[in-house]
Amino acid sequence: MLAEQIQSDLTAAMKSRDQLATSVLRMALAGIKEARVSGDESRELSDDDVLAIIAKEAKRRDEAAQAFADGGRAESAAKELAERDILARYLPAKITDEDLAALVDAALAEGGFSEPSQMGLAMKAAMAKVGGQADGKAVSALVKARLTGG
């Protein structure tokens, strides 16, 4: 499982005294543990759940880096980007725009979605097809363009 891989990588980072990786992986594991025990009863997380948590953490680092860069704090922005790069090791590779368009078109064809009023259902089908390999904003823009004829 992915959580176990992160745990073993944390152990390796601690042994090699890599403070940045140790810090990032500890935060990621804390997020995983929090998700595992949140709610009425604890549950085991699937790799998809763990990937969603890692993706959220990576996105948070991107946003923080952008904010630091906008504020003229290049050193802090570089640190956030380095943390994001550590998390990115666990995320699936991003797909090309052509592949994304093909997956979205296939999802829309399979579901028979053609009206803008079906945006929510079409997004659900498209995101299931894409499986975390692309940003939700990109998928949303593509689905909207296809449904509105743009």
Inter-residue contact 130 to 95 (CB < 8 Å): yes
**What is the CATH topology of the domain spanning 97-148?**
Arc Repressor Mutant, subunit A (1.10.10)
Inter-residue contact 54 to 28 (CB < 8 Å): yes
Q: Where in the chain is the domain with CATH 1.10.10.410?
A: 97-148
On whether the 2-88 domain is CATH 1.10.1510.10, my answer is yes
- Segment holding 7, helix H or strand E: helix 2-15
Predicted model pTM = 0.71
> What pLDDT digit, counting tens, does each position of 5-31 carry?
999 999 999 999 999 999 999 999 999
- Segment holding 101, helix H or strand E: helix 97-111
Q: What percent of the chain has pLDDT over 90?
A: 43
Question: Distance between alpha carbon 105 and the CA centroid of its chain, in Å?
Answer: 22
Q: Which amino acid is at 22?
A: T
Q: Is residue 69 over pLDDT 90?
A: yes
